[in-house]
Chain A
Amino acid sequence: MSASPSANVEPLAGIVGAENVSTALEARIACSRDASGLEGECLAVVWPSHPEHVPAVVEWALQEGVDLVPRGAGTGLCGGATPQRSVVVDLSRLTRIGPLDREGRRIEVEAGVVLGALNRRLAPQGLFLPVIPGSHRAATVGGMIATDAAGLRAVRYGTLRDWVEEVTLVDGLGRVHRLRGDALSSAVGREGVTGFVVKAVLKLASLPTRRTVSLIAFDDEEALLIQRDRWLQDPQLTALEYLNRHAAGALGWEARPHLLVEFDSDRGDIHDPERIAALWRARDGLYPVLARRGHPVIEDPRLEGEALQELLRWLDAEGIPAFGHLGVGIVHPCFRDGDGRIPALYERVAAWGGRVSGEHGIGLKKKGWVDAAFRAEIQQLKEKYDPKGVLNRGKLC
């Protein structure tokens, strides 16, 4: 990374306050990557402390001729928040929560609110935002909207798209849009290429009063998938997580394929809340543990039926550790850097009619694998919301 950046940030200090912008090497290095480890060059970092700052930051970028990268917690796994000689706009300081509409079960939050903090705040009211990615302790609402995050309870509660009522979006010309209904698809899952999510009104669910889990080891994937299909019929199922034998072994569990399932009833075998919390903690830490053991490249294909079974068989036979939200067909194989089988995975998934990204997004990492229809859709959105190409340049396609 060059020692002296080339963006004139002086006018920015006038907009956001001198303490909320930096060209210091420390800040630029720290924001040069996301959890994928994909690295780029960061020219400066801005931390808006009010949503109202963001349109002015965009206007500054248009004048300066630099591009902007929205950043939440940087837990993204596909380089979506990685700058490429860009200015990073870190929304972590937009943390206002409320007001809560208890009757209507909805709440307004700013983009930098962390899911874990939001749910802790809501718990005494018996409510929660039920989309829980493994990164829930750190991921921001803005980042989750931008990636249409799924996660551990997607089998019951779907993805973030199902829980957003309104998004306030600042586009690439600095215009502010309040998106509702069908228009939400211009922001949700668009990974910041159409604008900054600065605020959102989220729908909330009732917090289950009962939670039990079962952890079951199977002889093989076939038997496991038969049991999966049975459990999917259960209306009280809230999570159905898979670990293949290579991933289970990494956690110190018996090296057999496992399902970790959760019910909001007494149906599960494990009732002790502390044991349940410990199991979920182990599950949350699974990717970091596999990364530490030399498998940092995580993928997220989504498949169903025969193809899903084929995929699980292939991963098992190849010795590739994998886990995932099997209830919705999302699998996370983890590879060593540069593993030649990664393109083979994408090719297989495409041939089987699956999606190469079930939840993490496309970012920089998977843009070579999107189809022409997706590219055309993004280009159309770009013309409407970011005609000057200021936002997340070079991402998605």
Chain B
Amino acid sequence: MLTEPTADGSVELAENPPCIECGLCREVCPLFAVLRQEHLSPRGLALLAEREVASVVFYQCTLCRACKEVCPVGHDPDGERVRARLVARGVETEANRAMIENIRKYGNPFGPLKEGEIPKTLTCC
């Protein structure tokens, strides 16, 4: 599971209760609402994370945590950490790479922008 030390060496203090696969969170997930596929639902993602499947499907999670809100055991999908580990393993979408690079270089996800300019492309994960 995803409770190992974080990249900066700190240790997670709060335990993340594992998903017990009840499926009660399916319908609040915006990703599942659109695609209606089990591997793109909170339960499917939790199972894939538990099995350490290195997949770009994790980049589709919006990190909204609506699933955690309704989860009777309070399971946190922990999408940021899952992605950080994927990036460390070289599993990343092109869009994510561009977004992170833009944030690092320009302080925003869109890339170079002049004062007042409205971005034409939204680079997202």
Say whether A117 faces chain B, with CB atoms less than 8 Å apart: yes
The minimal Cβ–Cβ distance linking B119 to chain A, given in whole angstroms, is 29
- Choose the segment among A27-35, A170-178, A355-363 that binds chain B (4+ C-beta atoms closer than 8 Å): A27-35
- Asked if A90 and B24 sit within 8 Å, CB to CB, the answer is no
Contact with B along A247-286 (1 / 0, CB 8 A): 0000000000000000000000000000000000000111
A residues near B23, Cβ cutoff 8 Å = 35, 73-75, 135, 138
Quote the shortest CB–CB distance from B7 to chain A (angstroms): 25
| Known A26-B53, A288-B22, A296-B20: A116·B37 in contact at CB below 8 Å | no
Q: With both chains docked as a complex, state the minimum distance between the C-beta of A20 and any C-beta of chain B, in angstroms.
A: 9
Partner of B21 from A37, A116, A285, A289 at Cβ < 8 Å: A37
A289 contact set on B, CB distance < 8 A: 72-73
Mask, B53-97, CB within 8 Å of A = 1, is 101010000000000001111000000000000000000000000
Question: What's the Cα separation between A74 and B37 when bound, in Å?
Answer: 11
Q: Is the CB of B36 within 8 A of A30?
A: no
The answer to whether A35 and B53 touch across the interface, beta carbons within 8 angstroms, is no
Known contacts A137-B27, A285-B72, A288-B24; is A29 also within 8 Å of B36 by CB?
no
Residues of A within 8 A of B57 (CB): 26
Interface centre among B20, B22, B26, B48 (most CB of A within 10 A): B22
Q: How many pairs, one residue from A and one from B, have CB atoms within 8 Å of each other in the complex? A: 97
Contact-residue bracket for chain B = 20 to 34
Cβ-based interface call for A112 (8 A): yes
What chain A residues lie within 8 Å of B44 (beta carbons)?
A: 26, 29-30
A25 cross-chain contacts in B, Cβ below 8 A: 53, 55
- B12 at the binding interface (Cβ < 8 Å): no
Q: Check if B22 sits within 8 Å of A135, measured CB to CB.
A: yes
CA distance A37 to B24 in the complex (A): 15
| B17 is an interface residue with CB less than 8 A from chain A | yes
Contacting residues, chain B, for A114 (C-beta < 8 A): 27
B22 touches A291 (CB 8 A): yes
- State in angstroms the CA–CA spacing of A71 and B20 once bound together: 19
Flag whether A336 is at the interface (Cβ < 8 A).
no
What's the nearest-Cβ distance from chain A to residue B125, in Å?
A: 16
Q: Bound complex: CA of A74 vs CA of B46, how far in Å?
A: 15
B47 touches A29 (CB 8 A): yes
Is there contact, CB below 8 Å, between B36 and A92? yes
With A116-B27, A284-B72, A288-B73 as known contacts, state yes or no: A31 contacts B38, CB within 8 Å.
yes
A135 to B27 alpha-carbon distance, docked (Å): 11
Decide if A135 touches B38 in the complex (CB within 8 Å).
no
Q: Name the one of B26, B71, B73 contacting A73, with C-beta atoms under 8 angstroms.
A: B26
Whether, in the assembled complex, B114 has its beta carbon less than 8 Å from a beta carbon of chain A, the answer is no
- A93 and B36: CB pair below 8 A? yes
Pair B55/A26 contact, Cβ less than 8 Å: yes
Contact A29 B37 (CB under 8 A): no
Q: A residues near B, CB below 8 A?
A: 22, 24-27, 29-31, 33-35, 37, 45, 47, 71, 73-75, 90, 92-93, 95, 112, 114, 116-117, 135, 137-138, 284-289, 291-292, 296
B residues bordering A, Cβ < 8 Å? 17-18, 20-28, 36-39, 41, 43-44, 47-48, 51, 53, 55, 57, 70-73
6 contacts between A and B (CB under 8 A): A35-B22, A73-B26, A74-B38, A92-B38, A137-B26, A292-B18
